[in-house]
Amino acid sequence: MALPKGMRKPPRKGKIGKKVAYFKGCALEGPARDYDASARLVAKALGLELDQLEDFNCCGSLHVKNLSFKASLLLGARNFSVARAQGHGALVAPCNGCSFALKRAERLLSDEGKLSELNRLLEEAGERPVDELPQAHHLLEWLYNEAGPEEVKKNAVRPLKGLKVACYYGCLYGMPRVFSGAYPHASKEEELAVPYGRETADDDEHPYYMDALLEAAGAETVELGPYATSCCGSYFSLVEPELARSMALKVLKEAHARGARLLAVACPACKLSLETALARHEDLKLSVVYFTQLLALAFGHPPGSLGLTEEAWAG
Amino acid sequence: MRLWGLAEEDRIVEGKEGALILPKTSCDCKTELFDEITALPLAGEALSCDGCGVCTASCPVAEIITGFNPRSFIKTLEAGALDEVQKTAELLWRCVSCQACTHRCPRGVFVEDFLKAAVKVLRRKGLMEKSPAELFDELFTAEVLEYGKVEPVELIFSWLELQGYRVVRDPLLRKPLPFAGEIPPEIKKLVLKPLKGLRLSFVALNAVRLLVHPRSRNWGRVKHVLRKALGEV
Amino acid sequence: MKKVLVVGGGPAGLSAAEALAGLGFEVYLVEKEDKLGGLPVKESRYKLFPYEKSPEELLNPLAERVKEKVRVFTGAEVEAVLTDRPPFDVRLTNGETLRVDALVLATGVKSFDPTRKGELGFKLVNGVVTNAQLEAMLARNELKEPGSVAFVFCVGSRDLQLGPSYAHCCSYGCAHAGMLALELKRRFPSARVYCFYTDVRTCSTLERRYYLLPQREGVRYVRGRVARIYEQNGKPVLKFEDTLLGRPSELAVDLAVLVLGLEPSEGTKKLARLLSLKQDESGFIAEEREGVFVAGSCKGLLTLQEALTDGKATALRAALYLKGEKT
Ligand SMILES: Cc1cc2nc3c(=O)[nH]c(=O)nc-3n(C[C@H](O)[C@H](O)[C@H](O)COP(=O)(O)OP(=O)(O)OC[C@H]3O[C@@H](n4cnc5c(N)ncnc54)[C@H](O)[C@@H]3O)c2cc1C
Ligand code: SF4
Ligand code: SF4
């Protein structure tokens, strides 16, 4: 469930920066083009800047690390190198898999001696070593902190009145906290003791950034309870489709039972998994959309231009 | 050197001749298997596990697959009870890497990393068959190694082909043709979705991508170093 | 006559002060709160184990005896220690400055803030309360007969997810929960009462009264730590693994009671800083130095009984030091 309004923390402006390196990831270059387009529109409308990395490599997702720890860190280090070369101290990724992999790499590279070890590999590969580790964030964390509900409200020329949306965050958005830095309730003193505490991280157990933004855009959010962060099974969409489907179905059923029409997500892999399950369960009258599509819609962009099909939008 | 448990020479074994002999003791302070797993990166934190069950209670797979139980996997492997380990091997790979276990473990165990490390060691020791998950990891990693980037649609079709689906590829570039062949209906539906929404520009852009696989800069040299890293842990 | 300042008027501080005064020293005691008695009195408890008396019954007589023989400042704190070595010039927040030959620190502990463990639903899920809240309900006779109650052990104890300083055990929680669970079972015989534990640490003689007896009288102990509490149909649902069965499970109850851990109080951390005393990984005071003695829970968690005894023992150490110096 999303943290109730009275317990939420206001955005921490300036902690990440208005201009950041945009780590698009493989999916947004390809099938999740609509996510990319809407993310850009939203950032622009909110006076923020996504500076796309001119060159990047796959984050390694959850797969490369299973074969080799070192290789997974090398992929991360090269991405950080590219971001630094473009002069950035912060990277923003729109996908849970990417943000997980980048945060993980950031955290593990900050261990004693790790960065110099990986820098040697980068040099061997003819790449620029990383002078300073940039911080990795999820797109949603960035939008909430650098713009926040206030700005969204100001820009919502066509509020999403009467739209019932369930916000689905997925597992890797905030988990595990050792990588996401989500220690939202630690005191200042304790934050120091928790070495990777990140002020801009969402709540560790009851994330609310997406709810807050969509509420500000005029939508009515629907509570998903524990399913807001339970895994959609996308890791196994292909490998163990039955398992993945039963996991996705739990989320879909809950959203449906709570009366949602739309399920907003912040990750292309979640969308794929949820839609694959939906394709077999058309009785669940739900459409899965990116939260940025809904924001862009509220900002006045026509649904067609956002890649929102008629069935997703009307009905 | 571990100080608890019982060494093999201290074990009590009972049973009639010719019958299945199970040791009466389930723990062993010669823990080569566990030592080998916990020597892998991040997996070592499992030495701190107190068996509280928070990981299992947080695990979405445990809810669905009876017997999938991260806590018991850790403890079984720690005890080194080989008969139990064998049962574990059939289930272990079904972890979906959601990190809920690692997120909540009160002892700071990287549970998910431990499970993946365990798979690695069990495979190395021939105690486990190659799982579909490992096959997919390899497919994914091979594509990263080759290009630096992954093309999701191509990845999907390569996987389907590996699973025995008849994927039709164009004769020239050997690229999959999403609209031909026999693929699972829900996947076909997803691929066709943009067409239904008449987002032709979208379809066209994706088609181009399928033809020309995206590639990271300077990848030739990076590939070389990455391949070496892949050979290490 | 040698002078001693006792900082903190909880069980340990009170018993140290009483003993030192009895040994003939001039004793001052400074207590931050308006009332003496420490955590038990502040949290308005119902009953204290192993005495099974109310905090007032147990600690008021001690406080009264101390007030007779000791100069007590309530509602005041130590503001600064102006000298590095004995005799110490200590300035209090009420403007008083005292010169003393020794200090006894007994600044104790505070309860863990359960909103930090969001997964356990405190303030989010209807029917989730703390053990102190349950005690208050029992004390005021406000508790209506519940169908079922679950005690959730180790909330804010033994939990590295809260940070590296949370590895310690609270040392009172298991016995305390056992006592309350038994009480509930006796008051409401048809209620189902559960205790969710990782280990039950009812050491020494506490085992019989606060583990064995509750079990015998129908409290169900489940070996598994609660991972999550969420709301379903207006009730808390606990998610846990019954580790003895190896089965992930869910349980809906009327009342979920969080057994809160303890951590060093602000005063403990502040005095460690003022006197530059080493703290351990959890922030407890880990050393003494010339003229500075540490009593009770501020050096590591003790039960009330142990805190009372430790207060006396520390007083004796201080007395030997003070005598050895001059006489
Ligand atoms: C809900 C709950 C129930 C419990 N029930 C039991 C039980 O039944 N039986 C049992 O054995 N134990 C129980 N305990 C544990 C018990 O409370 C402790 O063992 C005991 O309080 C320790 O005593 P102490 O004197 O060391 O510290 P405290 O009781 O913490 O006393 C410290 C005192 O120092 C004061 N102080 C702090 N900082 C300063 C400062 N800077 N200047 C001046 N004064 C300061 C504080 O106000 C406080 O009065 C329970 C604890 C809790 C939370
Ligand atoms: S949560 Fe951690 S300590 Fe508890 S059983 Fe799982 S790995 Fe062990
Ligand atoms: S990472 Fe794997 S073992 Fe851990 S909770 Fe998720 S599915 Fe279960």
pLDDT value at position B164? 84
- Ligand 2 within 6 A of B52 CB? yes
Subunits in contact with chain B (3 or more CB pairs closer than 8 Å) = A, C
Residue A105 lies in a domain: yes
- Whether A3 maps to a domain, the answer reads no
Residue C309 forms contact with A (CB below 8 Å) = no
pLDDT of residue B167: 80
Whether the CB-CB separation of A195 and A290 falls below 8 Å is answered with no
- Name the residue with the closest Cα to ligand 2, atom 2: B105
Whether C150 contacts C255, CB under 8 Å: yes
Given its phi and psi angles, is residue C296 left (phi above 0), alpha (psi -120 to 50 degrees) or beta? left
Confirm whether A9 is domain-assigned.
no
Q: From chain C, which residues contact B within 8 Å (Cβ)?
A: 119, 154, 158-161, 198-199, 223-228, 239-243, 246, 248-249
Q: Same structural domain for residues A235 and A255? A: yes
Q: Are residues C257 and C272 in the same domain?
A: no
Q: How many CB pairs under 8 A join B and C?
A: 65
Strands of the sheet containing C88-92, edge to edge, are C78-81, C88-92, C97-100
In angstroms, the Cα distances linking B181 to A241, A243, B213 are 19, 25, 21
Give the Å distance between the CA of C198 and the centre of ligand 2.
10
Alpha-carbon dihedral sign for residues C240, A226, A8, A170? positive
> What gap in Å lies between CA A88 and CA A66, rounded to an integer?
29
Work out the number of other CB atoms within 10 angstroms of the CB of residue B182. 12
The residue nearest atom 2 of ligand 1, judged by CA position, is C132
Cα B70 to averaged position of ligand 3 atoms, centre (Å): 7
Query: Residue A261 carries which side chain, given as an amino acid letter?
Result: R
Give residue B3's pLDDT: 29
Which of B94, B194, B226 is nearest residue A71 as measured by Cβ atoms?
Answer: B226
Look at residue C162 and tell me if it is in a domain.
Answer: yes
Task: Choose the closest CB to B106 out of C160, C223, C239.
Answer: C160
Proximal ligand: closest to the CA of B115: 3
DSSP state of B169: B
Residue of C nearest to B69 (CA): C246
- Tell me: the pLDDT tens digits for C138-179? 999 999 999 999 999 999 999 999 988 899 999 999 999 999
Q: What percent of chain A has pLDDT over 90?
A: 86
Between the CA of A173 and the centroid of ligand 2 the distance, in Å, is 22
Q: How far apart are CA A279 and CA A272, in angstroms?
A: 10
Closest ligand, as measured to the CA of C284? 1
Gap between the Cα atoms of B182 and C124, Å rounded: 49
Atom number of ligand 1 nearest to Cα C268: 38
Give which of C211, C234, C221 is closest to C152, Cα–Cα. Answer: C221
Ranges for all domains in chain B classified under CATH 1.10.1060: 8-124
Name which residue leads in pLDDT, B196 or A139.
Answer: A139
Query: Best mutation site among A28, A53, A57 for testing chain B: the one with the most B CBs within 10 Å?
Result: A57
Cα–Cα distance for residue pair A74/A122, rounded to 1 Å: 8
Q: Are residue C115 and residue C257 in the same domain, yes or no? A: yes
For residues C84 and C10, membership in a common domain is answered with yes
CATH number at residue A245: 3.40.50
Whole-number Å distance between alpha carbons of C259 and C120 = 11
Q: State the smallest CA–CA distance between residue B130 and chain A in angstroms.
A: 13
Nearest C-alpha neighbor of A57 from the set B141, B53, C201, B217: B217
Ligand found nearest the CA of C224: 2
Does this complex have an ipTM over 0.90? yes
Nearest of C137, C253, C146 to residue C190 by alpha carbon: C146
Examine the pLDDT at C327 and tell me if it is beyond 80.
Answer: no
Radius of gyration of chain B (CA): 23
* C17: nearest Cα among C97, C94, C86, C103: C103
CATH of the domain at A76: 1.20.1050.140
Do A145 and A15 touch, CB atoms closer than 8 A? yes
Query: In this structure, is residue A227 part of a structural domain?
Result: yes
Compute φ and ψ for C66, nearest 5 degrees: -65, -45
Cα separation, C182 vs C199, in Å, equals 18
Indicate the length of chain B as a whole number.
233
Residue keyed to tokens 């403890």: B75
Choosing from C172, C201, C298 the residue with most ligand 1 atoms within 8 A of its CB, the one to mutate for a pocket test is C172
* A109 plus A169 within the same structural domain: no
> Which tokens go with B52?
């509280």
Shared domain for A154 and A130, answered yes or no, is: no
Q: Is the peptide bond between C164 and the residue preceding it cis, with omega within 30 degrees of 0?
A: no
Cα distance between residue C221 and residue A161, in whole Å: 50
Residue of A nearest to C269 (CA): A189
Q: Which two tokens stand for residue B206?
A: 């994706």
Six token digits for residue B226: 């990455």
A182, β-bridge pairs: none
Domain containing residue C56: 3-108+265-322
Contact A226 C118 (CB under 8 A): no
> Taking a contact as any Cβ pair under 8 Å apart, which residues of chain B between 168 and 187 contact chain A?
184-187
- Residues contacting C168, CB < 8 A, separation 6+: C157, C158, C261, C282, C284, C300, C301
**pLDDT at B2 > cutoff 50:** no
Q: Which of A88, A107, A139 is a domain's end point? A: A139
CB atoms under 10 Å from CB of A3, counted, come to 20
Give the total number of structural domains in chain C: 2
The answer, yes or no, to whether residue B198 has pLDDT greater than 60, is no
- The DSSP call for residue B125 is T
| Residue from C223, C235, C209 nearest C149 by CA | C235
Domain end residue (candidates: A139, A166, A182): A139
Q: Are residues C152 and C250 in the same domain?
A: yes
**Nearest alpha-carbon partner for A208 in A254, A144, A154:** A144
For the record, the structure tokens of C194 come out as 């559960």
Domain with residue C82: its CATH number is: 3.50.50.60
Last residue of a domain, one of A114, A139, A164: A139
- Residues having CB within 6 Å of any atom of ligand 1: C 7-13, 30-33, 38-40, 43, 45, 48-49, 77-78, 106-109, 111, 131-132, 172, 176, 260, 262, 265, 267, 270, 296-297, 302-305, 307
> What's residue C43's pLDDT?
82
Task: Determine the pLDDT at residue B85.
Answer: 83
Residues 107-166 of C with CB under 8 A from A: 113, 115-116, 118-119, 123-124, 161-165
Q: Per residue in A272-307, pLDDT tens?
A: 999 999 998 989 999 999 999 999 999 999 988 787
- Give the pLDDT of residue A233: 96
Task: Indicate the top mutation candidate among B42, B88, B111, B131 to test ligand 3's pocket, ranked by most ligand atoms within 8 A of CB.
Answer: B111
Give me B44's structure tokens.
Answer: 């070592």
A190–C163 CB contact, under 8 Å: yes
In a domain, A256, yes or no: yes
> What are the residues whose beta carbons fall under 8 Å from the beta carbon of B50, sequence distance 6 or more?
B106, B107, C158, C198, C199
Contact list, B233 vs chain A (CB under 8 Å): 68-70
Judged by DSSP in three states, C49 sits in: coil
Interface test with C, best of A8, A190, A204 (most C CBs within 10 A): A190
Please compute, for residue A188, the number of CA atoms within 13 A of its CA located in the half-sphere on the CB side. Answer: 0
CATH topology of domain B8-124: Fumarate Reductase Iron-sulfur Protein; Chain B, domain 2 (1.10.1060)
Question: Cα(B112) to centroid of ligand 3, in Å?
Answer: 6
3-state helix, strand, coil in chain C (%, to 5): 35, 30, 40
Mean pLDDT, residues A260-269: 97
Number of domains chain A contains: 2
* Run of H or E including A135: strand A135-138
Whether residue A13 is contained in a domain is answered as: no
Residues C197 and C275 reside in one and the same domain: no
Calculate what percentage of chain C has a pLDDT beyond 70. Answer: 99
Sheet strand arrangement including C128-130: C128-130, C255-260, C148-155, C192-197, C220-223
Residues C139 and C202 in one domain: yes
Q: What is the mean pLDDT of residues B133-155?
A: 94
- Give nearest CA residue, ligand 3 atom 6: B98
Q: Is the dihedral of CA C166, C169, C171, C174 positive or negative?
A: positive
DSSP category for residue B191: H
Residue nearest to ligand 2 atom 6, measured at CA: B55
Domain carrying residue A298: 149-313
B220 part of contact set with chain A, CB < 8 Å: no
pLDDT digits (tens, 9 = 90+) for A166-224: 999 999 999 999 999 998 777 666 555 566 789 999 999 999 999 999 999 999 999 99
> Is A253 a domain residue?
yes
Residues of C in contact with B68 (CB under 8 A): none
- Whether the CB-CB separation of A50 and A92 falls below 8 Å is answered with yes
Q: Is the pLDDT of residue C278 over 60?
A: yes
Does the structure show a pLDDT above 80 at B15? Answer: no
Contacts of A204 in chain C (CB under 8 A): 118-119
The CB-side HSE value for C311 (13 A sphere, CA atoms) comes to: 27
Which of residues C198 and A313 earns the better pLDDT score? Answer: C198
In the DSSP assignment, the letter for residue B11 is -
Kindly report whether the peptide bond that precedes residue A176 is cis, defined as omega within 30 degrees of 0: yes
Question: Measured in angstroms, how far is the CA atom of residue B42 from the centroid of ligand 1?
Answer: 39
Cα-to-centroid distance, B184 and ligand 2 (Å): 38
CA separation for the pair B43, B112 (Å, rounded): 9
Burial class for B164, CB neighbours closer than 10 Å (0-12, 13-18, 19+):
exposed
| Per-residue pLDDT band at C259 (split at 50, 70, 90) | very high
| B174-192 pLDDT tens trace | 777 766 777 777 777 776 6
Confidence of residue C3 (pLDDT cuts 50, 70, 90): very high
User: In sequence order, which residues have a C-beta less than 8 Å from that of residue B130 and are 6 or more positions away?
Assistant: B123
